[in-house]
Amino acid sequence: MDNAFRAIAGELDDARIALERFATPAAAANLERIADAIADRLREGGKVLACGNGGSAADAMHFCEELTGRYRDDRPAIAAVACVDPGHLTCTANDFGYEFVFSRWVEALGREGDALVVLSTSGNSRNVLHAVEAARQRSMLTVSLLGKGGGVLRGLCHHEVIAPGETADRIQELHMLALHTLVGAIERRLTC
């Protein structure tokens, strides 16, 4: 085996180990509780807001587009918005500081009865923390997908998923699995 092959095999093995640590009955029960809570908000006319930085922003966007569009089957659109608008992000970062880009967005769009889903591989993103604080002030349901033990965000949301792993890539892979699982579970709860 050459070094390139060993590196690739190592990546796949790391992903397998992370998945085995994550895919437990306790994790499934946790995701079920989260899906129930979000579906309850949506049934009452609420919406889902989602945010994160970098790859987590892309994951938040992907989560919301699968709610508004479709996941596996055709069904009515589900109200969801990701904070990825470059106009908002750059304006708010310029005028208030990057740590407030998500909280200002929650202040503008979040209402009691909505749900906020935040993603942070470190659990230490100050702009995500401020978004959670803004959502809690509005009596919104808060859900966090975190990594690296949860960081400062651990325990601050109504529900949380803490993915095992020490690197952002492994954590994001598990976050996407959790998000896909949630979309499917939310769909089932709203269409049955």
> What's the structural domain count of the chain?
1
Rounded to whole angstroms, how far apart are CA atoms 102 and 140? 14
pLDDT digits (tens, 9 = 90+) for 120-130: 999 999 999 99
CATH number for the domain including 58?
3.40.50.10490
DSSP of the chain, one letter per residue?
Answer: --HHHHHHHHHHHHHHHHHHHH--HHHHHHHHHHHHHHHHHHHTT--EEEEESTHHHHHHHHHHHHHHS-SSS------EEES--HHHHHHHHHHT-GGGHHHHHHHHH--TT-EEEEEESSS--HHHHHHHHHHHHTT-EEEEEEEGGGGGGTT-SSEEEEE--SSHHHHHHHHHHHHHHHHHHHHHHHH-
Task: State which residues form the domain around 161.
Answer: 3-191
Q: What percent of the chain has pLDDT over 90?
A: 96
Instruction: Give the closest residue to 48 by CA, choosing from 30, 29, 33, 67.
Output: 67
Q: Which pLDDT score is estimated for 165?
A: 87
Q: What is the pTM of this model?
A: 0.96
Q: Which residues of 16-25 are buried (b: 16+ CB within 10 A; e: fewer)?
A: eebbeebeee
Q: Which pLDDT score is estimated for 150?
A: 97
Band of the pLDDT at 166, cuts 50, 70, 90? confident
Q: Which pLDDT score is estimated for 79?
A: 98
pLDDT digits (tens, 9 = 90+) for 18-77: 999 999 999 999 999 999 999 999 999 999 999 999 999 999 999 999 999 999 989 999
Count, residues in the chain = 192
